[in-house]
Structure formats: structure tokens, C-alpha cells
Structure 1
Amino acid sequence: MTQEPPPTTVYLVDDETLIRAGFRAMLEQEGFQVIGESGDARQAIHAVKELRPDIVILDITMPGMSGIDAVAPIKQAAPRARILMASSHIGSQFLKQALQAGADGYVAKSSEPQELRLAIESILRGESYVSPKVASGLVGQIRGQGASAPGSSLDSLTAREREVFQLIAIGKANKEIAAELFLSLGTVKKHRENLQRKLDCHSAAELARLAIREGLLTL
């Protein structure tokens, strides 16, 4: 008899008790295991060091330390944990700050439970995830920004790799990229591997942060 894999573990950080309760209910309904929660980012840093969750769902605006300021300490305390920002702020500036801080994904609090599951599954695969409510305004900003500065680390990319890179940066999954660029799924995966090798980025979140630094993603 095949043994089922253990459930994905989640730690919740939000200063609003009702919000945490809502997330817990949604996550447990989707089969995730909530192993702890906190209304304070500093407490959360100590907790995740002991609990080592797979996922940390982190609010942005909290008293004391903000969620964005907590990203790096949480990554240091639990290096294998993936961080999903969950916020009512859908402005691009908050997304930029979250990605630059090291977050792996960004989801709107108004999202449906199915989107929360999709976001978690995406970042567990090493992809980035940005809620469509946030990402919809970014696609047009990226289009037409194909040129990079002289001496850029993007100079070694082919035109097709650059297209794939831009779509990864706004949180598109491999299947979505394949459909948009009329490529096979295997070709997209190969482009992703080449991008990570050429740019020395080991996850989609790192690629997104590089896109911001290089000016391909202006928020």
C-alpha cells in the first residue's frame, strides 16, 4: 500500500484574528496543515525557526514590524520555507517591495480558496505567483521594454528567452507561457532551465527580482 505524502505545513502571520481564522478554515478545507499562527511578525520569526513550515503566509501591514520587513529574517530562520504575501493592498508598489524583499508570491486577500491553493502549489514548485488582480496591470508595462542596458546580465538571452523571462517575472505558470507564446510545455521548461543557468537565478522569484533590477518590470 502506497503511503500518502505528508500534508504541506503552513504558518499564518496576520494581526487580525478573524483573517487568520478565515485563512485557517480555507487552508484546512484544501488539505493543508496549519501548524501555527501569530499576529506579530517578530513572534513569527522565532516560531518558524522552531516549526520549520513549508509555507509562511504573511500579511504586509501589521503593528511593529511589517510583513515586508519580516521576509528576510523569516528566510534566514527557515531557509526552506516559501513565503506567500497575502494582502488587501493590490497596488504595484507593494508587490515590488515584497518581491525585492524576497517573497515567493503575492496573493490578494479577496482571492478564492482555489487561487490560494494554486499560489501555494506554484511557489512550492519554485515558481513565483502573483494574483491576477495584481498582475493584470503589469503586463502592459512589461511589453515593449525588451532592450536592456549595455553590459546587462540579460545580454546573453535570446529574443525568445527574453519573452519567457518577462512572463515568468509576472507570475505566469509554464502552461500559461506555452499557450501565450504557442510553444510546447517541454520547450518552456527548457527555456526556464536556460534562464536560471544563464542568470544564476534558482527560482522564479529570483528571476522576478532580477527583472525589476534590470528595468524589465517597472512597478
Structure 2
Amino acid sequence: MKSAKTLLIADDHPVVRSALRILVKQEGFQRVFEASKGNEVISMIREHRPDVVVLDLVMPEMDGLDVLQRIRDNGMQCQVVVFTSLARTFYQERCMRAGAGAFVSKSSGMEDVLKALRAVSVGYTYFQSLPTVALDSLQRTEKEMIDKLSNRELTICLYLANGLSNKEIAIIMHLSHKTISTYKTRLTEKLNLQSKVHLRDFCKRNHLI
């Protein structure tokens, strides 16, 4: 790995950042920076101009999908390796469309992170094939409904399913309480659900949480 020597780790877990820092240092990245909140990432990219960003999708202040979108909208020249615990089934394609160069599940371990870093550093991408499991009619219908949600709708859906209130989500996403309430109503309609309890069951059934 000769061309990429500067890297930004964006993850809100100190242990993960520490492990990644050791790993990437061994891979020859001489300058390594860290961000623990999503809203820090764009300014740090501007300041440090990293060749690669290792990005978690679940972070305070701004989620990773929003960060990816802003990186692309601002024309920032860096490769992004998404490193997340969220389900590949629902997030890998979204990340590809948003401009990520790789998607690695945190359940895969650090060896896949190395493979992804080596791939994006020489201009390749690193995305694994999604499992081709047979889905029954209910699973197929629900997956299609999830796939039709916007990135923001899916993010709010997960916050609600994890028990956050409208007010808490509004603070995290820098949106108004009324806007979150509107999204909540839209989600229950789009997913054909009756309540927040059903929303949590829906997300658990589809391995979103």
C-alpha cells in the first residue's frame, strides 16, 4: 500500500477506533485521525484530506448514510470503507449508491477490513455477494417495503425501533419534533404498521435491530 497514507476513522466506540488505529498503522498509514461523531467527519476531511475514511453507519449527531451523501455532494476525493454492525442485506446497496468503495460487517472481523483497505487503496471496490436465501411471501414483501424507504426514513425507523422518543431523535438529527412526527406517521403507513410496538417487531423480524 504505497499511495494511501492518510486515514480517518469515524466511529463512536473508542475500543473500535483503537483497534482500527493499530491495524491501519501496520498497513502503512502514517497519519491517522479519529472522529467520534458524524457531524465531525466532513470538517475533518476538509482539514486533513484523508485518502481513506473508515466509516461506521451508526454515530451520534449524524448517521453514516448522511455523511456518505455529504461526501459525495461536496465532491470530496476520498475512498470510504463502511465498517458497520448494520445488516448487509439492507445497507450494502445503499452505501454503494451513496459512493462507498467498500462495505465490511463488524461481525466479519479485521481481516476483511484489511482486504477492503487494500482494495480501495489501489482503485478497486470491495463488496461481498449478498446471500441468496429463499424468502417467503411475507419476507419478500417486507424487504421490498424496506428497500423503498429513503435513507432518512430508514434511519428514523431504526431510532424508533430502538425505543428513542420523537424528541430524542429530533435532537440527534437536528430536525424539529414535528418533522420526526411526520416521518413516524409516514413510516407506519409505508410499512403498513399500527404502532411503534409493531415497528420494533417488524425491525427485529427483518434483522434490522
Q: TM-score range by the shorter chain?
A: 0.5 to 0.7
Which residue pairs with 2:15 in the alignment? 18
Which residue pairs with 1:103 in the alignment? 100
Over 3 Å counting, the alpha-carbon distance change for 1:78 and 1:46 in structure 2 is farther
Q: List runs of 5+ in structure 2 lacking aligned partners.
A: 136-209
- Give 1:84's match in structure 2, choosing from 69, 81, 86: 81
Which residue pairs with 2:131 in the alignment? 137
**Contact 1:9/1:32 (CA < 8 Å) preserved in 2?**
yes
Moved over 4 A (4+): 4-7, 138-141
Over 3 Å counting, the alpha-carbon distance change for 1:52 and 1:75 in structure 2 is farther
Which residue pairs with 2:50 in the alignment? 53
Percent pairwise identity:
27
- Give 1:8's match in structure 2, choosing from 5, 9, 12: 5
**Contact 2:69/2:98 (CA < 8 Å) preserved in 1?**
yes
Query: Could you tell me how far apart the structure 2 residues matched to 1:128 and 1:5 are?
Result: 17
Q: How many residues align?
A: 135
Q: Counterpart of 2:117 in structure 1: which amino acid?
A: I
Question: Per-residue deviation at 1:125?
Answer: 2.7
User: Please, what TM-score do these two structures have when normalized by structure 1?
Assistant: 0.54
**Contact 2:80/2:100 (CA < 8 Å) preserved in 1?**
yes
Query: Could you tell me how far apart the structure 1 residues matched to 2:56 and 2:134 are?
Result: 27
Over 3 Å counting, the alpha-carbon distance change for 1:55 and 1:139 in structure 2 is farther
Query: Could you tell me how far apart the structure 2 residues matched to 1:10 and 1:86 are?
Result: 14
Question: Per-residue deviation at 1:85?
Answer: 0.4
SS state at 1:129 partner: coil
Query: Could you tell me how far apart the structure 2 residues matched to 1:111 and 1:126 are?
Result: 22
Question: Per-residue deviation at 1:77?
Answer: 4.8
Q: Counterpart of 2:46 in structure 1: which amino acid?
A: K
- Give 2:61's match in structure 1, choosing from 55, 58, 64: 64
Query: Could you tell me how far apart the structure 2 residues matched to 1:90 and 1:118 are?
Result: 19
Q: Counterpart of 2:81 in structure 1: which amino acid?
A: L
Query: Could you tell me how far apart the structure 2 residues matched to 1:89 and 1:73 are?
Result: 20
CA offsets, 1:93-125, max 9 Å, x none? 111221121111101123343322221121223
**Contact 1:12/1:58 (CA < 8 Å) preserved in 2?**
yes
Q: List runs of 5+ in structure 1 lacking aligned partners.
A: 142-219
Match status 1:121 vs 2:153: no
Over 3 Å counting, the alpha-carbon distance change for 1:104 and 1:110 in structure 2 is same
Query: Could you tell me how far apart the structure 1 residues matched to 2:75 and 2:21 are?
Result: 21
SS state at 1:11 partner: strand
CA offsets, 1:14-43, max 9 Å, x none? 111111111111211232234211111111
**Contact 1:84/1:105 (CA < 8 Å) preserved in 2?**
yes
